[in-house]
A and B are shown apart, each in its own frame.
Chain A
Amino acid sequence: MPALLEACSITKRFPGVTALREVSFDLRPGEIHALCGENGAGKSTLIKLLSGLHPHGSYEGELFFDGAPAQFASIADAQRTGLAVIYQELALVDELTVAENLFLGCEPRRGVLIDWDRIWRDGRALLARVGLDLAPDTLVGDLGVGSKQLVEIAKAHGKHARVLILDEPTAALAEREVDTLLELLRDLRRRGIACIYISHKLDEVFAVADRITVLRDGATITTLPTSATGKNEVIRAMVGREIAELFPRHASHPGEVLLSVEDLSAAAVKGGPARLHHISFEVRAGEVLGIGGLMGAGRTELLMHLFGAWGARLGGHLQLAGRPFDAASPVAALAAGLVLASEDRKRYGLILAESIGFNLSLSSITRLRRGALIDEEREAHANQGLFSSLRVKAPSLETAVGTLSGGNQQKVVLGKALMTEPQVVLLDEPTRGIDVGAKIEVYALINELTAQGKAVVLVSSELPELMGMSDRILMLHDGRVGGEFTRAEATPEQLLAAAMGRTPAAA
């Protein structure tokens, strides 16, 4: 079958680095082709090249679309040809309606005026096409991440895209939303739309892709039909080494209760409706408590509330290391020995323009003082210690954090949390959007923390991770505890049932 989109021995150089080396890649009509590789393997660069962000002439090699040489000068150029990219950070305007977003930049007109009738009518049709049951005049800002993703796809559909490029589309989705998305992709495939699918989640890749291409260090390692390969082979190709065990959780010896939460209820704002209802749990020293649930179940809100960064308390008793604990702000939480590493690195985690060192010591800087001034020597030593023990890959502590890869940024976020010498560590999606190698380092770090007698609360959307790393698992559903399980007794089916609010007894 002739390829719909083909890249022939592409080489792309940036000052000082070669991001892609003789990369070849082809996409057949009506195919879902997964692109796998660790962060920094060259996936994003390849996508930027295919989508016209790196224009023709800025790289060596040739692109072909539908058999003819393609020389995209810009993103708009690539879009006209029939390529659409759906980025991790969604390109939708929250303040506009769904229909307006669908036609943003190519509004149908009657004369010089916008043809609103067509926007509403065609918008409704496009939404139906992606199986989204929404009024076209809904504000995009009111939608969840999952729906936004579908709107993005509908938008690409409206532009008659023949190739969809999805960059980590499920990073922020709950399992059910992932299923909807994958089903939609299969449906599009039946209609002849080809798709390049980038994901760190191999389960999804194997569930949906026809072929898999693995990139490593800017080079194509292999392209395999999904039916003829397995996860281990793909992982081996990605990291270039065998990974015996993805989740090396050590046996734990829980000590005394460090954090106890009793009958906690909270609302987003004072006087608002409750978002967290009567939640109770405890975490012991040396223990990992996993918290799962669907998108919007209140996991992030729970952690942020414990940390004093979200919501208003409606009721409940909290104890930290046996003493009553009620953090009114992150400052108070940190002083009491509780720390949070947020899920959203760029928004809540890092000062991107500042250096690695600045970020690492940010939470601890008030302690690293001599008199009124910062003890720069002590600060540098503390930074250096974490920089090397976490193996952050960067030229120096003075490198701007914004230039690091996702995995290394996450290490800085974790390092910042660890420098505060906490007793209880709240980790919200600590492995989101980072590559396999970095994930394993994060898991090792969690083991190390519990070995030191700290208590860890781990929020994760990925069931395998939750089951692999937690000693006990708490499933949240709609702001309530849907069920609590020990590591030994938890099964994926039980956890999912609890996340969806069906207690096993009632089922």
Chain B
Amino acid sequence: MKSKLTLRDFSLLLSLLAIGGFFAIAAPQFLSARNLSMLTVELAITATLALGMLLVILPGHIDLSVGSGVGLMGGIATVLIIHHGWPAWAAMTGSGLVALVLWMAMGALIIRQRIPAFIITLGGLLIFKGAFWLVIGSHTIPVVAGGSSNLYSLLTTFFLSPAASAVLATLVFAGLVILNLRARRRRATLGFAVDDAEVAFLKLFVTAQGLLLFVLTVNQFRGIPLPVVILGVVALMIQIITRHTPFGRHLYAIGGNEEAAFVSGVPVQRTVIGAFTLLGGIVAITGLMQTAYAGATTTTVGDSMELDAIAACVIGGTSLRGGRGTVLGVIFGALIMASLLNGMTLLAVAPEMKFIVRGVVLTLAVWMDVKLARR
């Protein structure tokens, strides 16, 4: 038996090519090594947060507070370093722990007290925003004192050397090939549908070209940016968690039918609280990256990032009702959002128009998904 490829499998790729093509023509510097390198950093930040969001959308919840959380977590680490003289690693760990506790508490409130996530996290959005401004005293504080660098600032200024980048990309590709072959063999022995050999080869071939293009481009600048490596690790972890652990199965089951999941022996409360706690950790990682990318913590860090994260999920085919969504889809969704923003910035599009375009794209993506899903 074969699995069929449909238009829907390609719709994301096609939209991405269309967007990329448009900007390449309208703003030639879009394809410059420097810009693409920056774009991958922006992508890494958006996609990391969106992957965390996926964890709570899968069981049918939502989190509106992650944008404020990004600001707050970045702010806490900054203040600990600059005002309290903590070493960077301790400050970053500290802000991560705070995030884990806060998000675990929100998860517990949502699932134990049966308060909709929309409300709890809307409260979180406001509370974290206020707490953020209190923590930083509504000032702008650089992430590193003087002109030197620390572990924190290195998050977005460190690049793997071109040689290391090439090695890493090769290793990643080799890993993908091995995993792919193993999965194919296993599925075939179990009598499940597998892609045609040609299709499988084509997919790997396209992936290899993509990786090659990526490495060649970023190597022209400085090599692979550290955030991309962080995104890679986060994506791998989330892929394993959602697809290969009972916890991940339970996320899909709860989103598909919470009552049936409960009666089937799925520990609903523990699973949902776990998902929110993991999201908390990811919010902290994103907060640190975003603040480091901005170079300083200011009152606007993280603004409306929750919307980009949710949009990336939805564009990537995640159902807001829960039960459906994939890591790869979310990364594509984030890539579309990040490309749009980056390209519009290059074209010096007015901020007003940026908002409108993002909204239109999100609406279109959902509309298309609904249309194509009905076929």
Binding site for B on A (CB under 8 A): 304, 307, 309, 329-331, 333-334, 340, 342, 347-354, 358, 362-363, 365-366, 369, 372-374, 376-377, 380, 384, 396-398, 416, 420
Looking at the assembled complex, report how far the CB atom of A505 sits from the nearest CB atom of chain B, in whole angstroms.
39
Is A350's CB under 8 angstroms from B192's CB? no
Looking at the assembled complex, report how far the CB atom of A215 sits from the nearest CB atom of chain B, in whole angstroms.
29
Is B265's CB under 8 angstroms from A372's CB? no
The 8 A-B residue pairs with the shortest CB-CB distance, nearest first, are A351-B256, A334-B265, A348-B263, A366-B246, A365-B246, A380-B190, A330-B265, A363-B265
Measured between alpha carbons, how far is A329 from B261 in the docked complex, in Å? 12
Task: Enumerate chain B residues within 8 angstroms of A369, measured Cβ to Cβ.
Answer: 246
Partner of B253, one of A329, A354, A397: A354
- Residues 234-262 of B, flagged 1 when their CB comes within 8 A of A and 0 if not, give 00000010001110011011001101111
Task: Enumerate chain B residues within 8 angstroms of A304, measured Cβ to Cβ.
Answer: 263
Partner of A352, one of B249, B257, B267: B257
Looking at the assembled complex, report how far the CB atom of B259 sits from the nearest CB atom of chain A, in whole angstroms.
5
Closest-by-CB residue of A relative to B324 is A353
Q: Does B117 contact A (CB under 8 A)?
A: no
Is B256's CB under 8 angstroms from A353's CB? yes
Given contact pairs A358-B252, A376-B186, A396-B192, A307 touches B245 in the complex (Cβ within 8 A): no
Task: Enumerate chain A residues within 8 angstroms of B106, measured Cβ to Cβ.
Answer: none
Partner of A374, one of B245, B253, B264, B266: B245
Is B1's CB under 8 angstroms from A396's CB? yes
- Residues 9-29 of B, flagged 1 when their CB comes within 8 A of A and 0 if not, give 000000000000000000000
Measured between alpha carbons, how far is A416 from B191 in the docked complex, in Å? 21
Measured between alpha carbons, how far is A366 from B324 in the docked complex, in Å? 21
29 interchain pairs, CB-CB under 8 A: A307-B263, A330-B262, A330-B265, A331-B266, A331-B267, A334-B265, A342-B263, A349-B260, A351-B253, A351-B256, A351-B257, A353-B256, A353-B324, A358-B253, A362-B249, A362-B265, A363-B264, A363-B265, A365-B246, A365-B250, A366-B246, A369-B246, A374-B244, A374-B249, A377-B186, A380-B190, A384-B190, A384-B191, A398-B193
- Residues 191-228 of B, flagged 1 when their CB comes within 8 A of A and 0 if not, give 11100000000000000000000000000000000000
Given contact pairs A348-B259, A351-B256, A358 touches B186 in the complex (Cβ within 8 A): no
Looking at the assembled complex, report how far the CB atom of B16 sits from the nearest CB atom of chain A, in whole angstroms.
27
Is B263's CB under 8 angstroms from A349's CB? yes
Q: Does B323 contact A (CB under 8 A)?
A: yes
Is B265's CB under 8 angstroms from A347's CB? no
Is B260's CB under 8 angstroms from A358's CB? no
- Beyond A349-B263, A374-B246, list 17 extra A-B contacts (CB 8 Å): A330-B262, A347-B259, A349-B260, A350-B257, A351-B257, A351-B261, A353-B256, A354-B252, A358-B249, A358-B252, A362-B253, A362-B266, A374-B249, A376-B186, A377-B190, A396-B193, A420-B265
Closest-by-CB residue of B relative to A329 is B267
Measured between alpha carbons, how far is A416 from B262 in the docked complex, in Å? 13
Task: Enumerate chain A residues within 8 angstroms of B193, measured Cβ to Cβ.
Answer: 396, 398
Task: Enumerate chain B residues within 8 angstroms of A372, measured Cβ to Cβ.
Answer: 245
Q: Which residues of B from 157 to 193 have beta carbons under 8 Å from A?
A: 186, 190-193
Measured between alpha carbons, how far is A398 from B1 in the docked complex, in Å? 12
Is A373's CB under 8 angstroms from B245's CB? yes
Task: Enumerate chain B residues within 8 angstroms of A376, measured Cβ to Cβ.
Answer: 186, 244
Task: Enumerate chain A residues within 8 angstroms of B244, measured Cβ to Cβ.
Answer: 373-374, 376
Task: Enumerate chain A residues within 8 angstroms of B245, measured Cβ to Cβ.
Answer: 372-374
Looking at the assembled complex, report how far the CB atom of A88 sits from the nearest CB atom of chain B, in whole angstroms.
18
Is A309's CB under 8 angstroms from B240's CB? no
Closest-by-CB residue of B relative to A339 is B265
Looking at the assembled complex, report how far the CB atom of A39 sits from the nearest CB atom of chain B, in whole angstroms.
21
Given contact pairs A372-B245, A374-B246, A330 touches B190 in the complex (Cβ within 8 A): no
Closest-by-CB residue of B relative to A373 is B244
Is A398's CB under 8 angstroms from B240's CB? no
Closest-by-CB residue of A relative to B257 is A351
Partner of B262, one of A309, A352, A374, A397: A309
Is B252's CB under 8 angstroms from A331's CB? no
Measured between alpha carbons, how far is A330 from B261 in the docked complex, in Å? 10
Given contact pairs A334-B265, A373-B245, A348 touches B260 in the complex (Cβ within 8 A): yes
Is A373's CB under 8 angstroms from B256's CB? no
Closest-by-CB residue of B relative to A307 is B263
Measured between alpha carbons, how far is A351 from B251 in the docked complex, in Å? 12
Measured between alpha carbons, how far is A334 from B1 in the docked complex, in Å? 36
Measured between alpha carbons, how far is A353 from B324 in the docked complex, in Å? 9
Is B186's CB under 8 angstroms from A416's CB? no
Looking at the assembled complex, report how far the CB atom of B60 sits from the nearest CB atom of chain A, in whole angstroms.
12
Measured between alpha carbons, how far is A330 from B263 in the docked complex, in Å? 6
Task: Enumerate chain A residues within 8 angstroms of B190, measured Cβ to Cβ.
Answer: 377, 380, 384
Of A307, A331, A397, chain B has the most CB atoms within 10 Å of the CB of A331
Given contact pairs A353-B324, A358-B252, A416 touches B1 in the complex (Cβ within 8 A): no
Is B264's CB under 8 angstroms from A330's CB? yes
Looking at the assembled complex, report how far the CB atom of B189 sits from the nearest CB atom of chain A, in whole angstroms.
9
Looking at the assembled complex, report how far the CB atom of A419 sits from the nearest CB atom of chain B, in whole angstroms.
11
Looking at the assembled complex, report how far the CB atom of A186 sits from the nearest CB atom of chain B, in whole angstroms.
38
Looking at the assembled complex, report how far the CB atom of B254 sits from the nearest CB atom of chain A, in whole angstroms.
9
Looking at the assembled complex, report how far the CB atom of A497 sits from the nearest CB atom of chain B, in whole angstroms.
33
Partner of A351, one of B191, B246, B323: B323
Task: Enumerate chain B residues within 8 angstroms of A351, measured Cβ to Cβ.
Answer: 252-253, 256-257, 260-261, 323
Task: Enumerate chain A residues within 8 angstroms of B324, measured Cβ to Cβ.
Answer: 353
Is A331's CB under 8 angstroms from B265's CB? yes
Is B263's CB under 8 angstroms from A340's CB? yes
Task: Enumerate chain B residues within 8 angstroms of A362, measured Cβ to Cβ.
Answer: 249, 253, 261, 264-266
Is A416's CB under 8 angstroms from B264's CB? yes
